[in-house]
Structure 1
């Protein structure tokens, strides 16, 4: 059986809940384009959410940064229509690296993903 690749959507309905130095929380809804072939939130979709939040957390500390290393654990399936809350916290605020822990919860406050990102600092944030 031949399957074709399909586009995965991540940021169609993104809402910032809170943002402070070293802490960012956003909310989004799992949409049809966020699903894998089995009808659950695609792992790449969930990873991308976590990666983007890690970048926002680094920005909130006043620096530009890129992902150096990451680790992710998928604990529960995300389902179509679920509202996901993605929370990132800076647990190491170094000069050269930031370590960000990310948790993704569904609307029942069940943890579906736990991740950790090491962000490499590329420079101080310059506001445009």
Structure 2
């Protein structure tokens, strides 16, 4: 049996649509490097979009944070050329943890994934008091 793995590409292209405290929205387009063997957006690609946005939401609240726990539901496939909107919103802004809900939707408004991330606060970003 031949084993062939390929690189998964994330955020090769993106546009920040909204960036405010506790709420981030980014658009990105599914490219060849985002696909799985079946020609759909790879689950790892979709998860990474949500994970990155959750980190940005935490930073928007003045905290560096890492993923402590996550849960993702894959609801439908995304395809080559789809423009995806990734939206993250903080639903719990604690001192040591943040909980961020993320949704990925395609350009038709269909929800592709829905995820929740518990982010562990490591420290404040450099330069913040």
Residue matched to 1:62: 62
Q: Under a length normalisation based on structure 1, what TM-score does the superposition of the two structures give?
A: 0.97
2:78 — aligned with what? 78
Give me the whole-angstrom Cα distance separating, in 1, the residues matched to 2:22 and 2:48. 19
Give 2:11's aligned residue: 11
Matched residue, 2:118: 118
Give 2:94's aligned residue: 94
How far residue 3 of structure 1 moved from its aligned partner, in angstroms, is 4.4
TM-superposed deviation, 1:70? 0.2
Unmatched tracts of structure 2, length 5 or more: none
Mapped to 1, the partners of 2:8 and 2:124 lie a distance apart of 32
Secondary structure, counterpart of 1:54 in structure 2 = helix
User: 1:32 maps to what in 2?
Assistant: 32
CA distance in 2, matches of 1:15, 1:68: 27
Match of 1:48 in 2: 48
Structure 1's consecutive aligned runs of 4 or more residues displaced over 3 angstroms after TM superposition are: none
1:109 corresponding residue in structure 2: 109
| RMSD value, Cα | 1.1
- In structure 2, the residue corresponding to 1:41 is in which secondary structure? coil
Normalised TM-score (structure 2): 0.96
Q: CA deviation at 1:2?
A: 2.9
Report Cα offsets for 1:69-110 as digits up to 9, x if no partner: 000000000100000000000000000000000000000000
